[in-house]
Amino acid sequence: MVTIFLDVIWLFNFLFDFILLLITRIFIKANTSMKRISFGAFIASLIVPLTILYPHSFIATFLGKLIYSIIIVFSSFSVKSITSFFHTLFSFYFISFVIGGGLFGLHYLLHRPILLHANGMVTFQKAYGDPISWLFIFVSFPLIGYFTKRRLDKYTVEKVKFEYLYPVWITINGKQKRTLGYLDSGNQLIDPITKYPVIVCDEPFLKNWFTKEEWSYLASFAQTFQAETLPNNFKYQIHLIPYRGVTGTNELLLAIKPNEIIVEKAEQHMNYKNVFVGIQFSQLSQDGRFHCLLHPKLFQH
C-alpha cells in the first residue's frame, strides 16, 4: 500500500510549473507580471488533484492535455495575436522538454531513485518520499533552469552574430585569401585624408601575406613607428589611420591598402578598391569564426 501526500505533490508541482513559466517569460521577453505567472502556475498545478482523483477523465488524453496547456498559456501571458500565442505555446513546450530532459539526464547520470507515474513524475515512497530524490529534484531543477537560460541567451547571441557574417575575399600583392567578416555597425573608422572606409582584420588571417620575420618587423613598427623596421615589400602600402580609442585618447592604427576586397551578400559579389585594411595584432573572435570587422559603408551600395 502506497500513501500519497497530495498537498506535498501539489506544492512541488506548483513550484515546478512556476519556474517553467518564469523561464518561458524570460525566453520570449514577455511583459507579464509575477502575479499572473503565479496564477498560471496554480492553474497548471491543478492537474495533480484532477489526475489523481479522475485518472481516466478527458484531461488525461492527448487532446485534453493540449487544451489544458492552452489554458495555462492564456492564464499566464497576454495574447495579442494568433502568431504570438503559438510562439508562446511552442516556447513553453520547448522549455518544458529541455528542462525535463536535463533533469532526467542528470538523474540517470547520478543514478538517483525517481519513480515514474503514468500521468507524470511522482517521487513518493514511505511518507514524504525518498529524501535523497526530493533533495535531488529541488536542488537540480533550479540549476538546470539557470543553465538552460544561460545556454539560450548564448544561442541567441550566436544566432545574431551568424546573421551578420559575410564571406570576404581580400587581395594583397596579387595574393587572394578568403575568410568571414562580421558587419560591425559600431565601426565608423574612416581615413580622414582619402575618406576611405577602414575594415579591421586580425593577426591569424593577415599572416597569410607575411613571413614570420616580416610580421615581427611590422609588430615592432607598431610599437616604435620607425620606418626602417617596416618590411621592404610593404613600405609603400602601410598607412597610419588616426582614431579615438575607447578611453578617449588619440591613437594610430596600422593599415594596409589592398588591391581589392570582395564581399558576398545575398549571392551577390560586391567589389571594392578604395578600402583600407586595419591591422589587429591579436585574434578578433575567441572561436576563430570570423577574422574581419566590416564597415557599414560597404553595404550602402
Q: Annotated catalytic residue: which of 7, 17, 153, 184?
A: 184
Q: How far apart are CA 294 and CA 252, in angstroms?
A: 19
Strands (E), 26-160: 116-117, 120-121
Q: How far apart are CA 132 and CA 138, in angstroms?
A: 10
Place of cell 503565479: 38
Q: How far apart are CA 166 and CA 84, in angstroms?
A: 31
Reported for 77-83, long-range contacts at CB under 8 A and 24+ positions apart, including other chains, are 77/25, 77/28, 77/30, 77/32, 77/36, 77/40, 78/30, 78/31, 78/32
Query: For residue 2, how many other CB atoms are within 10 A of its CB?
Result: 8
Quick one: which of 222, 249, 218, 220 has its CA closest to 232?
Answer: 218
Q: Is 202 one of the annotated active-site residues of the chain?
A: no
Q: What is the set of active-site residues?
A: 184
